[in-house]
Structure 1
Amino acid sequence: MKNLIKNGKIGLVLLCIAVISACSSNTTASDTSSAAATAITTTQNGTTSNVQLASIKLADLVTFDEEDSTTEWSADNSTAIALNGTSVVVDGSGATAKDGSVTITAAGTYVLSGTLSEGQVVVDVQDEGTVRLVLNGAELHDSNSAPIYIKEADKTIITLQEGTENSVTDGPTYVFADDSTDEPSAAIFSKSDLTINGTGKLTVTANYNDGISSKDDLKIMSGTIEVQAADDGIVGKDLVAVQDGKLTINAGGDGIKSTNDEDTSKGFIAIAAGTFDITAVNDGIQAETSVVIDGGTYTLVTGGGHVNADVKMGDQGPGGMGMGGNKNPESSAVTTTTETTETTATTETESTSTKGLKAGGDITVNGGSFTIDSADDAVHSNSNVSITAGDFKVTAGDDGIHADALLAIIGGTIDITKSYEGIEGGNITIAGGEIHVVASDDGVNVSGGNDETSTTGTQTQDQFTSSGSNMLTISGGYLTVDSTGDGLDSNGSITMTGGTVIANGPTNSGNGTLDYDGTFVMSGGFLVAAGSSGMAQAPGEESSQFSVSMTFTETQQAGTMVHLEDSEGNNILTFAPSKTYQTVVINSPDLQEGGSYTLYTGGTSTGSEASGLYTDGEYAGGTKVVAFDISSSVTYLNESGVTTGGNTMGGPGGGGGGRGTRPEGGAGQGTMPDGEGGSPM
């Protein structure tokens, strides 16, 4: 690899931390000197600090040489290789033909045309220099090895000639020189740097193993490339970098992957643009270290899609457990326990990783359009995830977006229509963007500890431990949550200084729309959360912005409006929850200490509706439920008015949040009604 990684590091490219005492990274100023930065506030290991998310892009990581883009050639300065069935004719220097195959031994340009029904193109160049293979209407087939085998070269460029269609096909078994080697292992296999450019088309049918593989760097500049592979589609050991192109991949393993796990500055994937249609039995795009995406259009289907996901206990509805944690990037150990009257037997099996975008290090998305249907997580990092822009449409069998460490959303549009847990991270910061989450367990889950997946019968369940120091930080953006488990769940604390949050669900009393272990301090933004009452919480009394928590005696039907107005008749809230509910929590900058307010239910509104929230227009026809004054940061209500009887609620799920007045016998008492199951996590 030659001077492809700028500033020498990639494992720390996501976060350029300006002030954070708990950070253990050794990032230097040079690591992010060329990257613009976005300042946000976040928390790691219980320490709240201002940080900067470095806007790392492909250009900060990869240098494309001039020759990577060069596609011109001339007959006078090249060697012609004519493929004639089982024979090869070479016109020029640097290559020799024998027994239906051709061996290239010198740097230069070689133009291949015709059909080779049984044979191989071998590049074996000991001297420095670039070998250019121009596929000018070439069809290559070898039934027992790689049709294109770059055995030795300083660098090889495959140019797809404009207006041509080219194909490379291997057989289901390879014959190796001896038992000590398993190379080549792909239909196009390179032991050195490989670049593909041009505007022609290349179809690769890899019946043995991988489609296109480089043991060094693999760069794709342009072209139409279709890969059908028994295992992985496109592999670059040190890196895969894509500037543009149209890639269609159907893989029995991973779609695109980079595999170097010995050097933290390598093993990454960087994509500037292009169109990607990937169907993979395993992961769609997977990097051993980091993934950086600037743009492009992506359609990813992994593991057969979300319909093939393992059944999670949280998918069963009432009693589901709202939990989160860290997941193994390659596979997860599934523990199967069989109980008998005498013994309990436990066996370990390995499940296949079927994620959409996956990285052992950071994932940075600066743009692009993503349609992901994954049997496992749609986006998964064993480190940090940063989304500064882009359009995501996600259906996931497990998490929509997962980060073991910090998950930061700064912009873009994210629509998660199916997931187990929608957005999950060790710490989560939402500073912008438009986000919609539907989850069969927790909508947004901040968690810590180790991931242990247990299986009982046909159901699996993620089990996690809480560190108690994790943080959900919301400073901007627009977030809606529809959850069967907890809506916003922090195994730590929550802070909100801006943005809009609309949460619907759960409907079972084993979970809460808001669930935190520490504190919930709200000083800005707008929040409405409607759901069950058994584990209900509100922002805490430390908040400088005021909250109202209303608990109804009876469950209200989905679509039944809740309307809150001040003494002058000004609208504070008109909201139609999408699910049945018994508790509604409202926090708005329009709520003021000493103000008088009236809450109504039912009725209609002529206003504009978005996610159940009505703005402008006129409200009419509702039933007055309660009138009240605000005298504290959290006002708890039932049909009789402001309630008395405080509750500190310590322990998991209680969180000590909102130690104001609670409805007697109502929400937030830290107990569940008889017959209710589940966990308050």
Structure 2
Amino acid sequence: MLAGTPPGHNDSSEDSQLNTPNRLRGLVLMLLMLLMLVGACGGGSGSSSSSTTASSSSSASSSSSSSSSSSSSSGGSVASWNLSTGENSADLVESLSFQTLVIALDTLTVSSSSSLLVVGTKSGGVTPVTFNGSTVVTVTEDSYGLTIDSTLPATTLLDFALSGTYGKTITFYSNADFKLSLNGVTLASTDGPALNIQSKKRAFVALSGTNTLSDTTTWTARTLSDGTSMDLKATLFSEGPVILNGTGSLGITAAAKHALASDAHVRLRTGTLTLSAKKKDGIRANNALVMDGGALSITTTAGKGIKVEGKEDTTTPLGFIAINAGTLDITSYDKAITASWESAEDGSTTVLTDDPDPRVTINGGTITISTTGTPCDTCTDTLAPEGIEAKSVLTINDGTLAITTTDDGLNAGERLIINGGRIYVKSSTNDAVDSNGTMTITGGLLVADGASGAEGGLDCDANTFTVTGGTFIGIGGRNSTVTQSVSTQNTVSLSNAAAGLLVIRDTAGNVAFAYTIPESSAGVLLSSSALKTSTQYTVYRGGTLGSYTEVFNGLYLGSSSYTPGTAGSSFTINSTVTGL
């Protein structure tokens, strides 16, 4: 056994040493679980339980909503989770109470103001902490750095408050959820991760002041107490969930592996997180990435921005991404955001109930994405630098998105749904918006600028393309054909449009649609509620718009006057699909 591994350590919880607030909390949770079981047995086919809100996130549209009592699109149970918003009451830290241990990294000293915790004298590099006369925490200095091991049960939660500077790895073991307060911390590990959380329990990371984590390309292999290899994936790595909040900032610079990784899920509630990864991904998680607020900036020079892999699980098959609020800025070599699990990963497995649901839902926030890699399908290591990819369903309910990519801007494996938001997508070599299944637009603003040739602005192959609302335009080599039988809002398609101002105006002089085409486009598809059935329109090129309320990436909103340029085709809308 290498240094840094507590002898005989296990991750089981004890039932002794209770404190009153957490005992009551446990009893309440047990009662709620009992009531849920009773309701499940007595409810009819239409009954369902509702999950407790984990954050003040926006409500997702019913077309993509999946509550804690429902199943994922691949059939698995998703207890405690809402896959469309990421709501999970267990991620709330506000209802928890903690006993604080202060660890000063400059001097490697431990102290506590809690009357329940007694810090002992350091001996042989080990500082013991007792609770009711029993040693429950050890802080050990070894060749790899600092190892903090807590065997306290879930009835007494600890807050490890770190401050100062340290040049090695800090490793955590804990039998219970814990809080990790970073108060102006600088961790520059010379070998391995800066923060290494070897616990499957929740780590509530509270940010105060300016904090930085970094590593080098040196990563010596380590083993656990049972002789198995220690999992080391990122500069900040956790076996369990990582929930970040606070008023401070955390910067992570990864030289060898991912910047931030969890074998469970990652959640950003508040705070500022800046990640830079030289060789791998900015964020890698197995189960989920949820963003409720704060600011997240990611830069990668060889990897992806955010990747949620998804793992088969008979209890909670997750694998989703939900962005509810905040500011997200990603510049990545490979995909910027991907929920990547594919059914092909099942191999010959016939059981589907344990399959993850790799969906992505955008409920709000400001998202800016740029990918830089050159797509390559024939390379040994294929590269597809897409903007946002969901292997199942991609839903945009709200938010402001600016996406510039070298591959597809938006990509969905099964369904792509736009219910709202302000979305600009530009792809230099592929489709701007692409669904391998169906596409539905019910609202929002969308400018989709795709590549020429066989690529285009809006592509869903020959699958159903439904339009019931919104204002959008798709330009490029081509666009998919809108399905007339299921669409209720009028659409117009044009061919071979030159660059310049395009205006559609009725016989009374009212502007129904105006857009400046940035480059010559073989295919143009547009739609707006201002395009009325049984109304005659004329297409104009050039001219001058006298007044308007806004220009959204070339799309003019609220246009009220127009000095005509060159008149082109005239047409009357008699159906929801009009081709010119």
TM-score under structure 2 length normalisation: 0.69
Once the two structures are superposed, what CA deviation does each residue of 1:74-123 show, in whole Å capped at 9, x if it has no partner?
A: xxxxxxxx989xxx9x9x9xxxxxxxxxxxxx9613588xxx9xx73343
Query: What residue is the counterpart of 2:377 in the other structure?
Result: none
Aligned mates of 2:145, 2:237 — CA distance in 1: 21
Count of equivalent residues: 453
Q: Secondary structure at the match of 2:446?
A: strand
Which has the higher Rg, Structure 1 or Structure 2?
1
Matched, 1:123 2:114: no
Cα distance 1:33–1:413, how it changes in 2: closer, same or farther (>3 A)? closer
Q: Which amino acid aligns with 1:258?
A: S
Q: Which runs of 4+ in 1 moved over 6 A?
A: 1-8, 33-37
**1:488 lines up with 2:430 in the alignment:** no
Pairing partner for 1:243 from 203, 206, 211: 206
| Partner deviation per Cα, 1:213-269 (whole Å, 9 max, x = no partner) | 33555531241111112221212222322123232011246122212xxxxxxx111
1:307 aligned residue? none
1:594 and 1:219 map into 2 onto residues whose CA distance is: 64
Q: Note the alpha carbon deviations across 1:41-100, whole angstroms, 9 max, x for none.
A: 3367599xxx8745536764557864435769xxxxxxxxx989xxx9x9x9xxxxxxxx
Aligned twin of 1:403 = 339
Using the TM superposition, give the Cα deviation of residue 436 of structure 1 relative to its aligned residue in structure 2, in angstroms: 1.0
Distance in 1, Cα, partners of 2:295 & 2:148: 34
Question: Using the alignment, how far apart are the partners of 1:471 and 1:355 within structure 2?
Answer: 26
Aligned twin of 1:256? 236
Shift of 1:128: 3.2
Q: Is contact 1:129–1:154 with CA below 8 Å preserved after alignment?
A: no
Contact between 1:128 and 1:153, CA under 8 Å: does it hold in 2? no
Describe the shift of the 1:68–1:603 C-alpha distance in structure 2 as closer, same or farther (beyond 3 A): farther
Question: How many Å separate the matches in 2 of 1:583 and 1:386?
Answer: 33
Tell which deviates more after alignment, 414-423 or 357-366. 414-423
Classify the secondary structure of the residue corresponding to 1:295. coil
Tell me: CA distance 1:290–1:522, structure 2 relative to 1, closer, same or farther (3 Å). same
The within-5 A match list for 1:59-458 is 60-62=91-93, 66-69=97-100, 108-109=118-119, 120-123=125-128, 128=134, 145-146=143-144, 148-150=146-148, 154=152, 195-197=159-161, 201-206=163-168, 210-214=169-173, 216=175, 219-229=179-189, 230-236=191-197, 237-238=199-200, 239-245=202-208, 246-252=210-216, 254-259=234-239, 267-273=240-246, 274-281=248-255, 282-303=257-278, 354-374=280-300, 375-382=302-309, 383-404=319-340, 405-418=358-371, 420-425=385-390, 426-447=392-413
Match of residue 580, structure 1, among 520, 523, 526:
520
Aligned to 1:158: none
Q: Which residue of 2 aligns with 1:514?
A: 458
- C-alpha deviations, 1:337-381, integer Å up to 9, x for none? xxxxxxxxxxxxxxxxx2222210021111011111123221221
The equivalent of 1:641 in structure 2 is none
In 1, the alpha carbon distance for the partners of 2:146 and 2:335 equals 40
**1:437 partner letter:** I
Task: For 1:280, give the aligned amino acid.
Answer: A
Contact 1:486 1:513 (C-alpha < 8 Å) held by counterparts: yes
Match of 1:189 in 2: none
CA contact under 8 A between 1:128 and 1:154: conserved in structure 2? no
How far is the alpha carbon of 1:301 from its aligned partner? 0.7
Please provide the CA RMSD for this pair.
3.9
Which structure has the highest strand share of the two?
Answer: 1
State, as a whole percentage, how many aligned pairs show the same letter.
26
The residue number in structure 2 matching 1:614 is 556
* Inter-CA distance 108–132: structure 2 relative to 1 (3 Å threshold): farther
Contact kept? 1:107, 1:131, Cα under 8 Å:
no
Distance in 2 (CA, whole Å) between partners of 1:270 and 1:222 is 13
Structure 2 distance, partners of 1:235, 1:406, is 29
Q: Report the equivalent of 2:63.
A: 42
C-alpha separation in 1, matches of 2:537 and 2:74: 37
> Could you tell me how far apart the structure 1 residues matched to 2:52 and 2:85 are?
7
Distance 1:578 1:416, change over 3 A: farther
Cα gap change, 1:149 to 1:593, in 2 (>3 Å): closer
Cα gap change, 1:40/1:391 in structure 2, threshold over 3 Å: closer, same or farther?
A: same
Among 429, 436, 447, the residue aligned to 1:502: 447
- How far, CA to CA, are the matches of 1:194 and 1:364 in structure 2? 24
Indicate if the aligned counterparts of 1:384 and 1:403 stay in contact, CA closer than 8 A. yes
Q: Quote the Cα distance in structure 1 between the aligned partners of 2:449 and 2:107.
A: 65
Structure 1 length as normaliser, TM-score?
0.59
Could you tell me how far 1:629 is from its partner in structure 2? 0.8
**2:148·2:170 contact (CA, 8 Å) conserved in 1?**
no
Change (3 A) 1:509 1:436: same
Q: Structure 2 CA distance, aligned partners of 1:480 and 1:574?
A: 16
Q: Structure 1 pair 31/497, CA: closer, same or farther in 2 (3 Å)?
A: closer
Q: In structure 1, the residue corresponding to 2:99 is in which secondary structure?
A: helix
Conservation of the 8 A alpha-carbon contact between 1:601 and 1:624: yes
Whether the 8 Å contact between 1:597 and 1:628 is mirrored in structure 2 is yes
Question: CA distance change for structure 1 residues 547 and 399 in 2, over 3 Å: closer, same or farther?
Answer: same
Q: Is the contact between residue 504 and residue 577 of structure 1 (CA under 8 Å) also seen in structure 2?
A: no
**In the TM superposition, what whole-angstrom CA distance separates every residue of 1:563-619 from its partner, at most 9, and x where no partner exists?**
111121111111113343222211111111111001112334344422111233643
CA contact (8 A) 2:456 2:477 kept: yes
Equivalent residues in 2 for 1:19-38 (5 A)? 29=49, 32=52, 38=59
1:655 corresponds to which residue? none
In structure 2, relative to structure 1, the CA distance for the partners of 1:634 and 1:303 (3 Å cut) is same
Shift of residue 490, structure 1, vs aligned partner = 0.7
Query: Which of the numbers 537, 540, 544 marks the counterpart of 2:480?
Result: 537
Instruction: Supply the AA of the counterpart residue of 1:443.
Output: G
Q: Which aligned pairs between 1:499-648 and structure 2 lie closer than 5 A? A: 499-506=444-451, 508-517=452-461, 518-533=463-478, 536-542=479-485, 543-552=487-496, 556-557=498-499, 560-606=500-546, 607=548, 608-615=550-557, 616=559, 618-620=561-563, 622-637=565-580
The question of whether the paired residues in 1 share the 8 Å contact of 2:513 and 2:530 is answered with no
CA positional deviation for 1:437: 0.8
Q: Residue in 2 aligned with 1:56?
A: 87
Aligned mates of 2:431, 2:107 — CA distance in 1 = 64
Aligned amino acid, residue 631 of structure 1: N
- Asked if structure 2 preserves the Cα contact closer than 8 Å seen for 1:525 and 1:588, the reply is yes
Asked if the contact 2:51–2:89 (Cα under 8 Å) also holds between the matched residues in 1, the reply is no
| Contact 1:57 1:294 survives alignment (8 Å) | no
Helix, strand or coil at the partner of 2:207: coil
| 2:511 alignment partner AA | N
* Secondary structure of residue in 2 paired with 1:284: strand
Task: Structure 2 unaligned segments of length 5 or more: list them.
Answer: 1-10, 14-21, 31-39, 41-46, 65-71, 76-81, 217-232, 310-318, 341-357, 373-384
Structure-2 separation of matches of 1:516 and 1:68: 54
**Counterparts of 2:150 and 2:273, CA distance in 1:** 34
- Which consecutive residues of structure 1, in runs of 5 or more, have no partner in the other structure? 9-17, 19-26, 73-81, 93-105, 134-139, 156-191, 260-266, 305-353, 448-469, 638-681
Residues 617 and 523 from structure 1, CA distance in 2 versus in 1: closer, same or farther, beyond 3 angstroms?
Answer: closer
Which residue identity does 1:473 align to in structure 2? I
